[in-house]
Every structure is written in C-alpha cells, then in structure tokens.
Amino acid sequence: MPTYIVLLGPPGAGKGTQAQILAKSTNLAHVSSGDLFRENLKNQTELGKLAKSFMDKGELVPDDVTIKMIRDRISRPDCEAGAILDGFPRTPAQATALERMLLDFKGEVNLVPYITAAENILVERASGRWTCRAHGHIYHEKFNPPKQAGVCDVDGSEVYQRDDDKVETVAKRIRVYLEQTMPLVDYYRKAGKLAEIDGTQAVEQVTKQMLAALKK
C-alpha cells in the first residue's frame, strides 16, 4: 500500500525544507503545490498565469484547478510508493478531495506532521528565504545560506527571492492560512493522524521529531 504524508503548517514553518530532506531518506516523492504552480509559471502555462494572480496577493488558488493539478501529479509513476504532500490540502474541500482520490490509489493519508512556529519567526524565515530557480532548493540568508552567495549548492543554478515573500504578502498569507487552513488541524487531529512538531527548533531537530513520528 502506498504511503501519503501531509505536511501541515503556516507559511515559512519549514514544510518545504523538511519535505526535501524526507524525500531523500524515504522512497516517497516530494509533491509541493506551491512548487508546481511556480513551475507552471516558469513555463508560462495558463495554469501558471492564473495561479500567479492569486499567489501575488497571498490568496489561495481556487480548489478545482489545485485539486486537478495534484491528482495529475500523484498519478505519475514516481508516486507509486506514495508521496510527501507539501502545501496540499489547504482547505476542507481539498482534504475531502484528497481522501477520494487516494482511494483510487488504494491508499490514505497516513500521517500529518503539523509544523508550528510563532508569527514573528515565520515572517523572518520567509523574508530571508532564497529559492533555487532550477529545482526549488531552499536556503535562508541567515539560517541556511548557500556556500557561494547567490548560487544553489545542489545544482549551481541562481537563487532568487519569491515574489510572495515580501513582508506584507507574508502577513496576508498567514491570515489566509489561519482562516482557511487551520480547520484542517482539528480535522486531522480528530482522525488521529496529527503529529505536532515544534518548528522553532533547528532543522536537524525538526527532522528528528518527524522521523520519530513516522516510525510510530
């Protein structure tokens, strides 16, 4: 049976950072809805242009297109063993849709690590983030700088600051998260799938806590 892990948490909590590490140590694919939208934008697809109009405002992209994009992605062969879902689901409608689509793959959501951190930390993390152009590898100017300024350690591509990482947009994204995504915390807690992770710890400590939750 495939394994599906849903990473839940506010913008800047460290979902992408942890998903990239976990994907390396498991046989699970890293599926990030934000990265998929950014990839679409890079390729100038209609979906990419539509997504950008919401992302720039710090708002969520509509459920229907987001759900379809994720369904297509997790149908691909590299997700046969399952996936680490980073940034999806983000609304109750997306969570219900996910449950339905996983039935088709004979799977279910197995664990929901919920990474938390206070708002001032989230803003500091997002506003100092640098992202690699080629594959979305994640850095931070203070907490995790690339070895050579401006260049990704892994693939040598340029690193850039996301348009939606401006302080005002991050604040808006946090508000949207509280309004639209927070209900999922209770939803997964009631389902007995939530594992609360203290995201204020160092990256390695967060990973340790995640791996311990996975073992259980």
Provide the binding-site residues for ligand AP5, judged by CB under 6 A. Answer: 9, 11-17, 33-34, 37, 54-55, 58-61, 66, 87-88, 90, 94, 125-126, 128-129, 138-140, 143-144, 164, 173, 202-203, 206
Nearer to Mg ion, 54 or 105 (CB): 54
Catalytic residue among 38, 73, 125, 129: 129
How far apart (Å, rounded) are the C-alpha atoms in residues 200 and 121? 8
3 state DSSP class of 80: coil
Residue 27 contacts by C-beta under 8 Å, 6 or more apart in sequence? Answer: 81
Catalytic residue among 38, 73, 90, 193: 90
173 is catalytic: yes
The distance of closest approach from Cβ of residue 216 to ligand AP5 in the complex, given in angstroms and rounded to an integer, is 21
Beta carbons of 160 and 133 less than 8 angstroms apart: yes
Beta carbons of 64 and 50 less than 8 angstroms apart: no
Catalytic residue among 52, 162, 172, 189: 162
**Separation of CA 138 from chain center:** 12
129 is catalytic: yes
Active site residues: 15, 90, 129, 162, 173
